[in-house]
Amino acid sequence: MTESTPSALTDAPLIDGFNLVVDALRRNKITEIYGVAGIPVTDLMRVAQEKGIRYFGFRHETSAGHAAAVSGYLKQWPGICMTVSAPGFLNGMVALANATTNGFPMILISGSSNRAIVDLQQGDYEELDQLQAAKPYAKAAYRIDRVEDIGIGVARAIRAALSGRPGGVYLDLPAALLPAQMPLAQGTASLIDVVDPAPARIPDGSAIDRALALLSSAKRPLVIIGKGASYARIESDLRTFLETTGIPFLPMSMAKGLLPDDHPQSAASARSKVLAEADVVLLAGARLNWLLGHGRAPQWAADGKLIQIDIEPTEIDSNRRIDAPVVGDLASSMRLLLKGLDTIPVKAPAAWCDAIETHKAANVAKMVKQLANRPVPMDFFAALGTVNTVLRDYPDIYLVAEGANTLDVGRNLITMSRPRRRLDVGTWGVMGIGMGFAVAAAVTQDAPVLAVVGDSAFGFSGMDIETICRYKLPVTVVVLNNGGIYRGDDVNRLDGQLPGVTTLSAMARYDRMIEAFGGTGYHVETVDALQRALREALSSGMPTLIDVSIDIHAGTESGHLKKLNPTSRATVPVASKA
């Protein structure tokens, strides 16, 4: 070969890392990317957009990450968040950890700095060993160093996010990888179509028989439904199983609507009673974490027996003894439990069901009396009761809930009749999910969204109402503004002229924020005004925000988590000004 003779390589068409990453995602049903543009991934986002992947640019990576995570939950397929290196990556880590804790499939893809300089800690631009930083907070973490490995890296990330219990995966793309080139034919051949990334795990038949035998002997049986059941889409078999057996059920917050909240077997308004008295409890898609008092007395009956369905064997006996473990995926397990009723029939005793119904009736009567009040300024019950009244005419709407009192009171007051329509903080209790969840629900479900958030919660992601306006999404945000974290009447222990620890601005007009971005804002102070504004906003199908003035004295410190917030009992004198 002479210098004038071109090599086969220079003659062959080439493809670079930018295009290979996008092609790998497109071949595996990725249709949206949520992120914040910047070095070194800006052109990666542009290529994705050019090739038909919808890109949604956020104002903060944490919100983009939450959007990707809840997209994964709603679609049963990994949502993608893309960030810049170091600080942007770290912002996305909150959402990645939340996705892993909640069991949401998502992939955080971040550009990173020059490996040789980072590894010698020589001070590169935004230097950080992102792979090692991500590992403790992700289900899996990978770095792609060679352009020919992009197909493998994307495939591994998808499988890790979806298989077993879903979770968050980190995929690191060094800046040098993206412009690197290889022959087009070889690059295309290196891409992988992921096949069956979440195979069924069929439980053992003896485990099914053991669970049904235990249920058949129960005098006070109960089924607790978690968001895992909602993710697994088992509502049809679950409903048949529950209605065949007559067993009362208790839905966790994101499982509300899997069966309608007004279903006669729902024990939601008798939660304390059924947890304390049930002698056999079946956990379907729920874990015995802090949300369920770890399954321990005094919240639970000390001598109660437990059946737990879980895809991860290590989850069994994690907090207390599980008498009948069923290790398998929820869909297969519920299908086999339902089939097993033909040979091991189960029927909830009438006395137990009647006792629950009596308790429910008493609690509902108290709630009806409380909701009849129409105070001015409003409290949380008046405001959220009004939201519930309006939402009865919008059963298909997606509801995002966030806050302390807003979340806790709303969980009890706002009824759901469709599965997967309620989206909230879930297992980890992290703040800041509001606007990201709202964007992803509107985008992936092509449906209207209502985000009901406290004023403190809104502060974590509120700037992304600009994102909602920019993409003209059918999202209505209701901010319950009582001027504080929990409540707005805290006092400064040192200087009464300055705000207290939990004090925010009760005079804030959040409605004017969305008006600045081209949306429609409302400010309301009464139940009637809230109802009118909410109906107008939902009917418009456009970005709207309703600022709801709430009594600054309304609300409870730490919401329902008072025991988790230690209170000082010191008797030493409070410091005074010199």
pLDDT in tens, 453-499: 999 999 999 999 999 999 999 999 999 999 999 999 999 989 888 99
Instruction: DSSP for 211-274, please give it.
Output: HHHHHHT-SSEEEEE-HHHHHHT-HHHHHHHHHHHT--EEE-GGGTTSS-TT-TTB-GGGHHHH
**What pLDDT does residue 563 have?**
72
Give tens-digit pLDDT for 300-358: 998 999 999 999 999 999 999 999 999 999 999 999 999 999 999 999 999 999 999 99
pLDDT of residue 5: 42
CATH code for the domain in which residue 338 is found: 3.40.50.1220
Is 197 among the domain residues?
A: no
Whether 345 and 474 share a structural domain:
no
Question: Which of 432, 403, 452 lies closest to 556, judged by CA?
Answer: 403
Task: Mark whether 151 and 212 lie in a shared domain.
Answer: no
With respect to residue 366, please indicate whether it lies within any of the assigned structural domains: no
Which pLDDT band holds residue 4 (cuts at 50, 70, 90)?
Answer: very low
pLDDT in the model for residue 571 = 55
* Domain that includes residue 486, residue range: 373-562
Is the pLDDT at 576 greater than 70, yes or no? no
Return the amino acid letter for 69. A
Rounded Cα distance between 530 and 387, Å, is 8
Residue 572 confidence (pLDDT): 53
For 289-302, how does the pLDDT look when each residue is reduced to its tens digit (9 = 90+)? 999 999 999 999 98
User: Looking at the structure, do residues 145 and 210 belong to the same domain, yes or no?
Assistant: no
Mean predicted confidence (pLDDT) in 93-105: 98
Rounded CA-CA distance 382/548 in Å is 11
The residues, ordered by sequence, that sit 6+ positions from 401 with a Cβ below 8 Å of its Cβ are 253, 407, 410, 411, 414, 422, 423, 424, 451, 452, 453
pLDDT of residue 577 exceeding 70, the answer is no
Q: What is the pLDDT of residue 268?
A: 96
pLDDT of residue 558: 74
Q: Which residue has the tokens 């005419």?
A: 393
Torsion-angle region of 103 (φ positive above 0: left; ψ -120 to 50: alpha; else: beta): left
Task: Tell me whether strands 544-549 and 475-481 are parallel, antiparallel or unpaired.
Answer: parallel
The verdict on whether omega for the bond into residue 40 sits within 30 degrees of 0, i.e. cis, is: yes
Residues 325 and 385 in one domain: no
Looking at the structure, tell me whether residues 465 and 532 fall in a common domain.
Answer: yes
**Residue 267 placed within a domain:** yes
Report the sign of the C-alpha dihedral through residues 52, 57, 63, 65, in that order: positive
- Number of residues that make up the chain: 578
- Quick one: average pLDDT of 83-98? 97
Residue 9 in any domain: the answer is no
Q: Is residue 196 part of a domain?
A: no
- Distance (Å, rounded) from C-alpha 482 to C-alpha 386? 17
User: Are residue 404 and residue 500 in the same domain, yes or no?
Assistant: yes
Contacts of 190 (CB under 8 A, 6+ apart): 20, 148, 149, 150, 151, 152, 182
pLDDT for 3 equals 43
pLDDT band at residue 570 under the 50/70/90 scheme: low
DSSP 517: T
Angle in degrees, 0-180, between the axes of helices 350-371 and 380-391, rounded to the nearest 10: 110
Amino acid of residue 548 = V
Among 327, 357, 387, the domain-final residue is: 357
Provide the percentage of residues in the chain whose pLDDT is more than 90: 89
- Whether pLDDT at 527 is above 80: yes
Residue 115 has pLDDT above 90, yes or no: no
Asked whether 108 and 69 are in contact (CB, 8 A), the reply is: no
Report if residue 135 sits inside a domain: yes
CATH value at residue 416? 3.40.50.970
What's the whole-number mean pLDDT along residues 532-556? Answer: 96
Question: Are residues 24 and 78 part of one domain?
Answer: yes
* Same-domain pairing of 379 and 524: yes
pLDDT confidence tier of residue 401, bands split at 50, 70 and 90: very high
- Which residues, 6+ apart, have CB-to-CB distance to 50 below 8 Å? none
262 has a pLDDT exceeding 70: yes
Does the residue 576 lie in any domain? no
> How many independent structural domains does the chain possess?
3
Q: What is the CA radius of gyration of the chain?
A: 26
Instruction: For residue 345, report the phi and psi dihedrals to the nearest 5 degrees.
Output: -70, 145
pLDDT digits (tens, 9 = 90+) for 177-209: 999 999 999 999 999 999 999 999 999 999 999
- Specify whether 340 is located in the same domain as 396: no
Locate all alpha helices (DSSP H) within 433-509, ordered by sequence. 434-445, 455-461, 465-470
Q: How far is Cα 474 from Cα 455, in angstroms, rounded to an integer?
A: 21
Range with the poorest average pLDDT among 89-103, 258-272, 552-566: 552-566
DSSP state of 501: T
Same domain for 144 and 90: yes
Cβ-contact 334, 231 below 8 angstroms: no
The CA distance from 368 to 371, in Å, is 5
* 115 and 179 share one domain: yes
pLDDT in tens, 17-60: 999 999 999 999 999 999 999 999 999 999 999 999 999 999 99
pLDDT in tens, 129-180: 999 999 999 999 999 999 999 999 999 999 999 999 999 999 999 999 999 9
pLDDT above 60 (res 398):
yes
**Host H or E run for residue 484:** none
- Average pLDDT value over all residues in the chain: 94
**Backbone angle region of 403, left / alpha / beta, with phi > 0 → left and psi within -120 to 50 → alpha:** left
Residue 573: pLDDT above 60? no
In this structure, are 339 and 463 located in the same domain?
no
Residue 572 lies in a domain: no
Query: Would you state the pLDDT for residue 479?
Result: 98
Q: How far apart are CA 134 and CA 113, in angstroms?
A: 15
